[in-house]
A and B are shown apart, each in its own frame.
Chain A
Amino acid sequence: MIPTRFEYVAPRTAADVVAALDGESRLLAGGTWVVPEMGRAESRPRRVVDLRRAGLATISVEGSRLRLGAMCTYSDLLSSEDVTRHAPLLRTMASGVTGGSALRNQATIGGSVAAARPQSDVPATLVALRADAVVAGPAGSRRVPTAELFLGAGRTTLAVDEVITGFDLPSERMSGHGYVKLKRGGSSWPIVTAAALLRLDDDGRCETAHLVLGGVEAVPMTVDLTIMLGRPLGDQELDVAAARTVAALSAPWTDVLAPGDYRAAVAAPAARRALAMARANVGVTEGERHGRRPDCP
């Protein structure tokens, strides 16, 4: 039950969506976050702009880039062969989202990014994948690296009259990925997530390495792993990466489920495990990957 009154519109194009937006409007994607918020009267928009009919749920591959519509749900990611092939990290991430398939059928990646909850799975994952957000506004469309989108808990660089229409990311076909999520049980939102992507050259040396943690700070935290490049990935290197994770932390996030000191304490093991998993995943075919439970290292 939503106490406050609002007008409801469901535009057919992104341009019409933008036209409907102003300081008193609220975008509605899957609604899994915004509807309960309106129910608690924490949000009291005058106009609800439903994205569902604006055609933003497509998934496609163009060249070596994967294009995801903002309205893709977790289920869409799970059932897409393109995602499995080019960004299996997204698949692993989506398979661990709680709420059951009912929730995964409904909640969107655009909504998760725009909501910018520090604990959410999607933001740090997309940052690790170096995804650009495609943002439509009154002046047209712009691209923003997701890493630059987040300003703080619940805050992004999006203007009130802007909408994310999709994401555009490089294929990670050749990488191994790791995803580790620590939480307090099946009812719990993530406490800390670590997304890792590794590519090795033919000699087993690290060609690219990306590690982004969610939940440890107000925004996704990227750990600079440049020093690992060109080196073989032994346990020692993973220890170095874990140490860099700790060094990268400045202001650990605190919420009711876990205080900052806990997040800080588990960031390094989470990072290390994600990298270890990515290392083990390098060169693993999609079929093999499917048979595994990626979330238990």
Chain B
Amino acid sequence: MDDDLTALEITVNGKRRSATVDRRELLIEALRNRFGVTGPKIGCLTGDCGACTVRLDGLITKSCLRIAVAEDGAEIETLESMSTNGLTGLQESFWDNNAFQCGYCLSGMLFAAEDLLDHNPTPDEDEIRQAISGNLCRCTGYDAIVTAIKRYAERVAESDRRQ
């Protein structure tokens, strides 16, 4: 059994960490089981739900589609890192607009939304719907998520205009 174990060194939420992982482990499993993060969830293991989304070397990715050992040296950010200085404006907007019910999709939705706003700070409703369509939510029917992203973007644009 031991020959399946191997060392993995990655940066998780800004901290360089190492752990022993089974070569068969997916990145999502290693993150949850070996590095103690719980923000990303497992919903399908086929890349379809987006619950496992994390940011890897700056790009968002579905961590169930990656083999952990292949990511040696990577820098990974999970939901845990998002609120190190208190909730972000986007997070507050999700909360205010009831953009999560069971919360299982939340981490993935937040990453998808952040990624969208990084590329397009003033998205329209269609663009928001496109951007979160790699993620499934079974509870909200999506409207609240779209509203949360839209209102946040509008608020940011508004305050940029004022400055």
Contacts and interface: CB of A to CB of B under 8 A. Distances in A.
A106 B62 contact: yes
Contact of A52 (B23, B24, B59, B70): B70
A102 B66 CA distance: 12
Contacts of B61: 102, 105-106
A99 B115 CA distance: 14
A30 B29 CA distance: 18
Interface of B, helix, strand, loop or mixed by DSSP: mixed
Interface stretch (A2-10, A134-142, A216-224, A267-275): A2-10
B131 A1 contact: no
Contacts of A63: none
A32 B65 contact: yes
Nearest to A96: B130
Contacts of B46: 36, 39
A101 interface: yes
B91 interface: no
B159 to A, nearest CB: 26
A102 B62 contact: yes
Contacts of A4: 24
Interface string B57-72: 0011110111101100
Nearest to B4: A5
Contacts of A196: none
A102 B50 contact: yes
A99 B45 contact: no
21 contacts: A1-B25, A1-B45, A2-B24, A5-B24, A6-B24, A7-B23, A28-B67, A31-B65, A32-B62, A50-B70, A75-B59, A98-B133, A100-B112, A100-B131, A101-B60, A101-B116, A101-B131, A102-B50, A105-B59, A105-B60, A187-B136
Interface of A: 1-8, 10, 28, 30-32, 35-36, 39, 48, 50, 52, 75, 98-103, 105-106, 186-187
Interface of B: 4, 23-26, 29, 45-48, 50, 53, 59-62, 64-67, 69-70, 111-112, 115-116, 131-136
